Structure 1
Amino acid sequence: MAKTNWMIVAIYLATLVTAIESTIVVTATRSIVSSLGDPNLTSLIFSTYLFSSALATPIFGRLADNHGKKIIFQIGLLLFLLGTILCGFSVSSWMLFGARIIQGIGAGGIMPMTFALIGELFDITTRGKVMGLNNSAWGIASLIAPLIGGLILRQLTWHWIFFINVPFILLILVIVQIFYKEKAHPTVPQSGVFQQYTSLIFGLLIVLSGIQLFSTHFLLGISILIAGMLILFRFYRKEKKKDSPILPVSTILIRDFRLLTICVFLINGALIGFQVYLPMWIQTELHLSPTSAGLALLPSSIFFIIGSYYSSKLLIQFGQKRLLQLVLSGALLGFLCLSILPNTAGYSTLLIFSSLLGFFIGTGVTISVISAQAYATTQNLSTVSGFITLCRTLGQSFMVTFLSVINQQIFLLKNQQLAGYHSVYLTISLIFIALLILVSYSKKSKERVQSQ
């Protein structure tokens, strides 16, 4: 039991450092650009990290099933540590650019392993609680990272926003080495694996590039996005014929699994849209401070944890389909209300909706992941976890870009009765209506999670 508790600490810290690394850099962007003298760094600092982590995620998932979770988790941590140290010592924009790529690759090895380890170490009744605790790291990071970053910049240089992670990564490595005893894992021989990985990376890179261009060059972005999806579909067709595919082909063929990954994609996308535009609403319409705007997300984070914590119990009580219907309906109601609330709605009113949406989204995210992971076998648990993580990352990347286009188009219309964030929440509502219909009209699935 003590070993399991130590692994919970390691998993949580691993998630926390990757989450903080995604947000703390925001506070130091101006200092980094001024220090290194390259204005192009503003976007590259973020895009390189997100791109490289997304590209690495499914690959590390497959490697873990072939060679063992422990060694791949440690490799991910070591790469993240190396990238972090190089970021801190960077003296040029190109050095920082390369270091962020290494750091992102490491994060791509860490994130799917946290999901896979939770799936391996805990049964269904405990898994939701642990996953809820683990998911809270993202909410906590969004709150504390700007504060820590601001404090570091006042007392030290921007290099220390990277160095602060080093002792935590070393602690995680020690815990994993001492307390995680993995069962003997035979190496699975593969042929042509390099070509498979190259094809997957190329397709994902095209898709991510299309998403990035979507908001600034709409037609070019959508064309590249479609081309990337076609490349990935062709790659998937080839994977179905492989003896050892690097994607969880046998699991993807299951209809209910595909539905759940769509839920992961869209619900996580809705979450990022909510987190971006609620603070904007508070600052532009209520004219409150950035601190007040950030604190408005605190109830969401708290109730996200609560929803995640009780998700397993609710899943067993209501069943997968019915609970998804309830959660999606609750979130839909919340987003619809936000889309029609007057611009001057009180701060306390927005806090109430922040709490409600935090609970419904937290529950929805967790039950989607748990239910999807239930379709994995002991032989492909890490691969499935990596695929689920990739769906989450792509969902957030696509939705934050797509919603920014919606927001910008409303401002171009100069319609004073409809603010950009109203249109964003209305768009999310329409997406949730479609998702609710999709879930409701799906055939009743086998409740696999109940038997685990």
Structure 2
Amino acid sequence: MSASYEVQRTNQITGSRKWWAFATVLVTMFFSSLDQTVVSTAMPTVISDLHGLNLYTWVFTAYMITSSITVPIYGKLSDVFGRKPFYLFGLVMFGIGSAISGQAHSMLELVWARAVQGVGAGAMMSMPRATIGDIFSPKERARWMGVMMAVFGLSSIVGPAIGGFITDDWSWRWVFYVNLPFVVVAIVGVVFALPTVRTKDQVKVDWQGAALLTVGLVPILLALTWAGSKYAWGSFEIVGMLAGGALVLVAFVVWEMRAPDPLVAPWLFRNRVFTTSLVLQLLVGMAMFGSLMYLPIFVQGVIGLNAQNSGWVMTPMMGGFMVGSMVSGQVMSKTGRYRHVAWISGAVIVVGSVLLNRVDVHTSWPTIMVDMVVLGLGIGALMPLMNMAVQNAFPYRVMGTVNASQQFVSSLGGVIASPVFGTVLNHAFSRKLGELLPPSLSAMRSKMGSLNPQALLTSQAQKAIAAEFDRLGPAGQALYHQLMQAVKLSLTYGIQQLFLVGLVFSALTFIGTFFLPEVKLKGEEYFRSEETEKHAG
């Protein structure tokens, strides 16, 4: 029987076929993470072509909602029915969404296409990590997980350049079409390398739990996306969506505790490695967002790197991320231990955050590069470690469920961090700008207050503001330069507040590493113990 149609009772991949599976995982991870970067690069051109600025955020929100919600569903079902059907389904949906996105003739059509793409992306987020668990034992996995994280870092580095090239030299539509040949390659790899799993288990899909999770998460994700931009944090709309979503999620938890085959198993949270790792993931995610999410704005608006090159701003951080992940993976693989690596990684994250907290209006680009590399080293070393620790702490048969739960929490961390830190920056920027504007510019204060820092740094906005000052005659240019200096100082102050918040989360991350229990990484006995457990049952 050929490898493509081999039927077995486990997802485990052995022999030479595991390297084909590993290559498939790397291809899938590279292009799924690359997609987000190139789409962000192309969005200004998309908006200009489709004329839908009011739906701009929905292009990302629709993708984020569908991908986040489907992750735990894929993870649960893949443990029983195998990775292959859900990997294939996810790739096909991602390809269909990409094709529809590429031919979209309105922003609304693009939003719906991105939602379809997100359904596929949910599988592409959860299946690769579980597949790595099917290929390697926890001790081996530490080494190769570092390689996976390095591939993720590489996609973040080359993404802006690829997105800019495709948009400028071909068309923004090819940002989506370019996914299609790689989807085909990945499908071939999945069909050839992944086993078809036969199970005797009778599984009842927890559709009620899936429905409750969806209904609870959608209003919360929308509230966190719109808070501070479309609506104020304390507005009736935001409070109502958060409260309503929270009530439904409480009902979801109650249901899952009573469901015979729950979507998210409550017993997972009784494991200290699992709960501590989830908390650490949230903390390190917030530390990363707090320090780095708006760093390109600082580099462009304060240091003066032009907008064309701003896509490369994150390269030093991702370079450190790649090195950190590979080094920590090698150390864990050789020693079979991870707790000391976690302590050191947490300490390096704190050092990187402290360095970033020293920046001011006079900070140079080389200084920022060094600070970013240090922070990237710490985050890169810690993130794969948490995944390794959790996988090692549970039986192989629940690999998909465990990985999906981790990925789900990690996605929520990014969703929460984005609007929170955006609000911190906008509030600090607006307040400082009001303090720094000279009396001669007080008449312009209302107009400035309606603009956020990102808008003030675009060339279009600056040209429009300069045109307004030109009407004031010869003194207009001097007033314009006073305004832009105030903007620069205010932006520096706002970024400093973000770095301070990031430092708090970095310190909490370091403290949290001391609560992470250590379970020696298992070798091949990981799979043998699983087989013994299965026969005993």
2:207 maps to what in 1? 194
Give the distance between the partners of 2:316 and 2:361, measured in 1 at CA: 20
Give the distance between the partners of 2:290 and 2:151, measured in 1 at CA: 18
Of 127-136 and 201-210, deviating more is 127-136
Closer, same or farther: CA 189–405 of 1 in aligned 2, 3 Å: same
Are the counterparts in 1 of residues 143 and 330 from structure 2 also a CA contact under 8 Å? no
Closer, same or farther: CA 229–128 of 1 in aligned 2, 3 Å: farther
Are the counterparts in 2 of residues 23 and 145 from structure 1 also a CA contact under 8 Å? yes
- Offset at residue 300 of structure 1 (A): 1.9
Gaps in structure 2 of 5+ consecutive residues: 1-14, 436-488, 527-537
Larger radius of gyration: 2
TM-score computed with the length of structure 1 as normaliser: 0.92
Which one-letter code corresponds to 2:423 in the other structure?
Answer: V
Closer, same or farther: CA 312–230 of 1 in aligned 2, 3 Å: farther
2:478 maps to what in 1? none
Give the distance between the partners of 1:160 and 1:256, measured in 2 at CA: 43
Give the distance between the partners of 1:129 and 1:253, measured in 2 at CA: 28
Closer, same or farther: CA 312–35 of 1 in aligned 2, 3 Å: closer
SS of 2:104's equivalent in the other structure is coil
Which one-letter code corresponds to 1:209 in the other structure?
Answer: L
2:497 maps to what in 1? 423
Summarize deviations over 1:207-248 as a string: whole Å, max 9, x none.
212211332321243563354344324312321222211103
SS of 2:234's equivalent in the other structure is helix
Which one-letter code corresponds to 2:499 in the other structure?
Answer: Y
Q: Within 5 A, what are the aligned runs for 1:123-162?
A: 123-162=137-176
Are the counterparts in 2 of residues 128 and 310 from structure 1 also a CA contact under 8 Å? no
Pick from 322, 325, 346: which aligns with 2:364? 346
Pick from 242, 245, 250: which aligns with 2:262? 245
Give the distance between the partners of 2:274 and 2:287, measured in 1 at CA: 20
Pick from 301, 325, 335: which aligns with 1:308? 325
Are the counterparts in 2 of residues 124 and 312 from structure 1 also a CA contact under 8 Å? no
Pick from 385, 390, 397: which aligns with 1:379? 397
Query: Do residues 219 (structure 1) and 291 (structure 2) align?
Result: no
- Offset at residue 450 of structure 1 (A): 4.7
- Offset at residue 306 of structure 1 (A): 1.9
Which one-letter code corresponds to 1:361 in the other structure?
Answer: I
Summarize deviations over 1:266-323 as a string: whole Å, max 9, x none.
2133334444222222212211223554434223222212221232344474944433
Of 351-360 and 287-296, deviating more is 287-296
Of 113-122 and 245-254, deviating more is 245-254
Pick from 347, 351, 364: which aligns with 1:329? 347
Give the distance between the partners of 1:66 and 1:285, measured in 2 at CA: 53
2:249 maps to what in 1? 232
Of 315-324 and 157-166, deviating more is 315-324
Give the distance between the partners of 2:255 and 2:170, measured in 1 at CA: 52
Closer, same or farther: CA 438–224 of 1 in aligned 2, 3 Å: farther
Closer, same or farther: CA 449–242 of 1 in aligned 2, 3 Å: farther
Give the distance between the partners of 1:203 and 1:254, measured in 2 at CA: 25
Gaps in structure 1 of 5+ consecutive residues: none
2:509 maps to what in 1? 435
Query: Do residues 445 (structure 1) and 445 (structure 2) align?
Result: no
Query: Do residues 399 (structure 1) and 471 (structure 2) align?
Result: no
**Aligned residue-pair number:** 449
Give the distance between the partners of 1:108 and 1:140, measured in 2 at CA: 21
- Offset at residue 399 of structure 1 (A): 1.1
Are the counterparts in 1 of residues 75 and 404 from structure 2 also a CA contact under 8 Å? yes
- Offset at residue 421 of structure 1 (A): 1.5
Give the distance between the partners of 2:169 and 2:367, measured in 1 at CA: 37
SS of 2:172's equivalent in the other structure is coil
Pick from 261, 266, 279: which aligns with 1:262? 279
Pick from 338, 343, 368: which aligns with 2:386? 368
2:470 maps to what in 1? none
Summarize deviations over 1:170-197 as a string: whole Å, max 9, x none.
0000011112225534453216x22121
Are the counterparts in 1 of residues 351 and 374 from structure 2 also a CA contact under 8 Å? no
1:18 maps to what in 2? 32
Give the distance between the partners of 2:518 and 2:375, measured in 1 at CA: 28
Which one-letter code corresponds to 1:154 in the other structure?
Answer: D
SS of 1:219's equivalent in the other structure is coil
1:209 maps to what in 2? 222
Closer, same or farther: CA 342–30 of 1 in aligned 2, 3 Å: closer
Closer, same or farther: CA 280–33 of 1 in aligned 2, 3 Å: closer
Give the distance between the partners of 1:147 and 1:219, measured in 2 at CA: 39
SS of 1:113's equivalent in the other structure is helix
Of 199-208 and 141-150, deviating more is 141-150
1:278 maps to what in 2? 295
Give the distance between the partners of 2:48 and 2:186, measured in 1 at CA: 33
Closer, same or farther: CA 16–358 of 1 in aligned 2, 3 Å: same
- Offset at residue 83 of structure 1 (A): 0.8
TM-score computed with the length of structure 2 as normaliser: 0.78
Are the counterparts in 2 of residues 118 and 127 from structure 1 also a CA contact under 8 Å? yes
Q: Within 5 A, what are the aligned runs for 1:25-174?
A: 25-174=39-188
- Offset at residue 150 of structure 1 (A): 2.1
Are the counterparts in 2 of residues 327 and 364 from structure 1 also a CA contact under 8 Å? yes
- Offset at residue 88 of structure 1 (A): 1.4
